[in-house]
Amino acid sequence: MNPFSSGTRLRDMIRSIRACKTAAEERAVVRKECAAIRAAISENDQDYRHRNLAKLMFIHMLGYPTHFGQMECLKLIAASGFPEKRIGYLGLMLLLDERQEVLMLVTNSLKQDLNHSNQYIVGLALCALGNICSAEMARDLAPEVERLLNSRDPNIKKKAALCSIRIIRKVPDLSENFMYPAASLLKEKHHGVLISGVQLCIELCKASKDSLDHIRRNCTDVLVRILKDVSNSSYAPEYDIAGITDPFLHIRVLRILRILGQGDADSSETMNDILAQVATKTESNKNAGNAILYECVETIMGIEATSGLRVLAINILGRFLSNRDNNIRYVALNILMRAISVDTQAVQRHRTTILECVKDTDASIRKRALELVFLLVNDTNAKHLIKELVDYLQVSDPDFKEDLTAKICLIVEKFSQDKLWYLDQMFKVLSLAGNFVKDDVWHALIVAISNAPDLQGYSVRLLYSALQASLEQESLVRVAVWCIGEYGEMLVNNVGFLDSEEPITVTESDAIDLVELALKRHTTDTTTRAMCLVSLLKLSSRFPPTSERVKGIVTQHKGNVELELQQRSIEFASIIQRHTGIKSTLLERMPVLDEASYLSKRAGSTEKTASGDPKSTASGDSKITSSVKVPNGVAKPPTTAAIPNLIDFSIDDAPVPPTSTTASEPPNFMMDLIDINLPSSPPSGGEPAPVINRNIIDDLLSIGTSPVENGLPASSSFPTIAKSTVPETKPAPVSDLLDGLSLSLDSSSSPSREEEHKSITAFQSGNLKITFSFRKQPEKLQATLIHATFTNLSSNAYTNFIFQAAVPKFIQLHLDPASSNTLPANGNGTITQSLTLTNTQHGQKPLAMRIRMSYKVNNEEKLEQGQAENKERKTFSLSIAFSSDSHSVERELFAVASHFLLSSSFELVPRFYKP
């Protein structure tokens, strides 16, 4: 017989494929076999159909296409014999899935087999349906499966229950049909049926609330009895595993008890006793027992258990932590991290064991234990835990030092009760793992030293000694050279000596020697060397006799390949040599750094980094820094700090675009805001344009200005605008642009009266509307009071509502507390908040503001942001008359049209009439 004919046995084909030495040989064998199978299919060979399908299944498992054999599966399923159906259903499950359209053809065969008198054929149909059932098949065959749940044969019941799980997952609406049959399965004695029934009940609880209530009401006592019987049962060989009767049934029942007891005190009380019995009687020296104990602890922590039962569960986890199996210890740490929010005191009892896990050789256990220790820290145990962690930091693996250092620094900053303890711990960390300390940590340390005048002498002496011991820790070198430069005289003169200190003697030359040593160390990076040069420059002022030596050290870097170091070297040498008169003033001690401002800015930056914002900025002198999230009711301090990333514009930092205007001419606000070069010309006669008092809406939106103010042409050939349509524009007001409401200052009004202007819609989305109303005082033209009103346009109430605003550097912003942090739905209420804007360059630069609103809808965080602008668009009809000798009318007309069209608040509809 041809070895590759359709009559080849399956084992012969497998042997031929395994004998291939290369992939090409294997592909050749498979290709010949597939060709033979195709020929047999085309000839409708019934004798070898089952053998061909078996070979196709093996070829399919090797990764070759076998779609041409799908119809053979259906033919075998339609056969009457059990062997053919067995191969057919196996091929159906392997070669097809629920997305295949051909699967619809097998529905009728499945229905017939589910009603077959042979229990084995019924079992085949149930297995196939449980594996490839689609939503349509589930709806068609659910009644047959429901009927089979009441079969007398336990194997059929078990398979019908597993098939019902697939049906419920595909069509959750059918769950109500299976509630009562599932409950009846829990009364069976056969453990296989019990496990399947419990799993079906778990799926029903997940699928619908009604099913959960029904099972909780009718099955809780039954499940408690099942768990009690299986726990107290005597030895049964068919169910025994490592001396424990059927741990699989144990675990399934414990899982459904956790679902039923969650949030229900009555059900939890029913199962408390049996859970305590399982927790105390189960042996933990075998893996099966540990699995049951783990599931029991999960159930106790998930239900409304008594405090004593929770303590028992946490004690079991404590025993797990002493187990030699790394997997058991890891899962125990995972549960303890969740349990700490339920019973912190019980977890604290195992603090010593958890600390030992931090020193484990397994990396995953170390990291998980460290996270748990961080959660355990409080005001009472912070010092003890920090001491243990710092001691371990000396001997920890380099791969683990970064995580350990970060956690120690966080704990020290969060739980420092006095500055001295904080400084001591941070100095220890810098000495042991300074290379792993992040920049923001040592920045905060420098700020703290600056704000502790009584400890500055102590700090510089301690850092000097630490730097003498080791120059390998980069962050230690940076902090130390900064302190030596700032407080060098305290180091030499032993100023601020504490009783706990050991006396040291340091000369001026010693201080310079140490900084020079740090500067010349070959592993020092550019930032540290730059700090060393600054420190040496300051020491030349603190210690005048050493100026020449410092100058010689600094001059050595005039030819450095690093431009930063080269520039500093030249500048610092010039200061030492030529500017001795101002050197002492120039190099005096830095003023005290604002610790509260720095910490709030750092908190905002940390929050932004944690949220994965790609625009978060690095440390250093950047022009754009992270915005500080200020809650409602907390005033943002006026500052000239750079604009946060929220704004995404740099009006004040960008160079002024070159224009043809004179120095005294008002700036072109259109160019300033959107960076567009509009044509401009000076006023006729060469007279400089007068500086006009800017109106707040005029400033904010850059609209309503005269052509001359905005750099538009004002030549004699400019087209004439009909006065009957648009009134002549006066120098300051924008009255005709805002429906006749004058927004200019009335000269006849009292100088002390506040001027109230028209409200505008500054922001509007599908969910939120913000309205701004403005006030100005004539005697304070730079200051503008904005009254913001927030309206919820959606059908859901907003909670935790926070409004933020960001402005350029030349504008100072003050936020008053908001009236509320809850915004009712459908516009049934509003939140109001006042803002005060002070434009330090009033009349030169316009107001610009970006806004951001964050809130929660159904406990889901939402964020909206945009630019404050007037959303009320205006349409004007301009009648323009021009003479035939206006040779430049098209250019001038384009200029005025551009001016209006580029304003986001106006739409131009020109109509032309020739006189």
Q: How far is CA 328 from the centre of its chain?
A: 30
Would you say residue 165 has pLDDT above 70? yes
| β-strands 780-792, 830-839 pairing | antiparallel
Hey, what are 541's tokens?
């002022």
- For 573, phi then psi, to 5°, come to -60, -40
pLDDT of amino acid 884: 42
**Domain map (residue ranges) of the chain:** 306-416, 418-595, 683-885+896-902
Is pTM beyond 0.75? Reply is no
pLDDT of amino acid 418: 87
Domains 418-595 and 683-885+896-902 are alike in CATH topology: no
d(CA 900, CA 729): 14
- pLDDT tens digits for range 353-392: 999 999 999 999 999 999 999 999 998 999 999 999 999 9
CA torsion through residues 180, 186, 189, 194, sign:
positive
Would you say residue 652 has pLDDT above 60? no
The pLDDT-based confidence of 6 (bands split at 50, 70, 90) is: low
Dihedral angle of Cα 489, 493, 498, 499, to the nearest 10 degrees: 170
Dihedral angle of Cα 286, 292, 294, 299, to the nearest 10 degrees: -170
What mean pLDDT, rounded, does the chain reach?
Answer: 79
pLDDT of amino acid 67: 86
Residue 743 and residue 758 in contact, taking contact as beta carbons nearer than 8 Å: yes
Q: What is the mean predicted confidence (pLDDT) over 801-805?
A: 90
pLDDT of amino acid 25: 93
Q: Which of 216-220, 498-502, 603-607 has the lowest mean pLDDT?
A: 603-607
Q: What is the mean predicted confidence (pLDDT) over 294-315?
A: 92
| β-strands 624-625, 244-245 pairing | unpaired
Closest CA to 90 of 52, 60, 57: 57
d(CA 1, CA 488): 100
Closest CA to 369 of 378, 356, 382, 381: 356
d(CA 134, CA 609): 44
- pLDDT tens digits for range 840-886: 887 778 878 889 889 988 888 888 888 876 544 444 444 444 444 44
pLDDT of amino acid 880: 42
Would you say residue 667 has pLDDT above 90? no
Tokens 């899935």 belong to residue: 97
Would you say residue 730 has pLDDT above 70? no
The pLDDT-based confidence of 613 (bands split at 50, 70, 90) is: very low
pLDDT of amino acid 14: 92
Q: What is the mean predicted confidence (pLDDT) over 610-638?
A: 39
pLDDT of amino acid 612: 47
Residue 559 and residue 535 in contact, taking contact as beta carbons nearer than 8 Å: no
Would you say residue 897 has pLDDT above 80? no
Q: Which residues contact 418 (CB under 8 A, 6 or more apart)?
A: none
Residue 713 and residue 746 in contact, taking contact as beta carbons nearer than 8 Å: no
Would you say residue 399 has pLDDT above 60? yes
Would you say residue 675 has pLDDT above 70? no
In eight-state DSSP terms, residue 852 is E
Would you say residue 169 has pLDDT above 70? yes
**Residues 810, 815, 820, CA angle at the centre, nearest 5°?**
155
pLDDT of amino acid 197: 94
CATH superfamily, domain 683-885+896-902, is Gamma-adaptin ear (GAE) domain (2.60.40.1230)
Q: What is the mean predicted confidence (pLDDT) over 886-907?
A: 44
Domain spanning 306-416, CATH class = mainly alpha
Max mean pLDDT range (652-656, 755-759, 783-787) = 783-787
DSSP assignment of 321-384 equals HT-S-HHHHHHHHHHHHHHTTT-HHHHHTTHHHHHHHHT-SSHHHHHHHHHHHHHH--TTTHHH
Q: Where does residue 363 fall: left (phi above 0), alpha (psi -120 to 50 degrees), or beta otherwise? A: alpha
Tokens 């109001």 belong to residue: 832
d(CA 37, CA 629): 70
Neighbours of 639 (CB within 10 A): 13
Alpha-carbon distances, residue 183 vs 150, 151, 166, 178, 219 (angstroms): 11, 14, 18, 9, 7
3-class secondary structure, 219: helix
Neighbours of 590 (CB within 10 A): 12
Higher confidence at residue 129 or residue 898? 129
- For 787, phi then psi, to 5°, come to -105, 110
Q: Any idea which architecture 418-595 has in CATH?
A: Alpha Horseshoe (1.25)
- pLDDT tens digits for range 266-285: 999 999 999 999 999 888 88
Higher confidence at residue 164 or residue 700? 164
Would you say residue 5 has pLDDT above 80? no
Neighbours of 703 (CB within 10 A): 25
CA torsion through residues 42, 46, 48, 50, sign:
positive
Would you say residue 82 has pLDDT above 50? yes
Residue % of the chain over a pLDDT of 90: 43
In eight-state DSSP terms, residue 637 is P
The pLDDT-based confidence of 757 (bands split at 50, 70, 90) is: low
Hey, what are 691's tokens?
């500086």
Closest CA to 292 of 236, 342, 242, 225: 242
d(CA 164, CA 146): 8
Max Cα-Cα span within the chain = 117
Residue % of the chain over a pLDDT of 70: 77
The pLDDT-based confidence of 295 (bands split at 50, 70, 90) is: very high
- pLDDT tens digits for range 116-132: 999 999 999 999 999 98
pLDDT of amino acid 225: 94
Closest CA to 893 of 675, 659, 901, 667: 901
- pLDDT tens digits for range 26-60: 999 999 999 998 888 888 877 788 888 999 999 99
Would you say residue 248 has pLDDT above 70? yes
Would you say residue 154 has pLDDT above 50? yes
For residue 475, what is the enclosing H or E element? helix 474-486
Would you say residue 64 has pLDDT above 70? yes
- For 713, phi then psi, to 5°, come to -65, 145
pLDDT of amino acid 3: 43
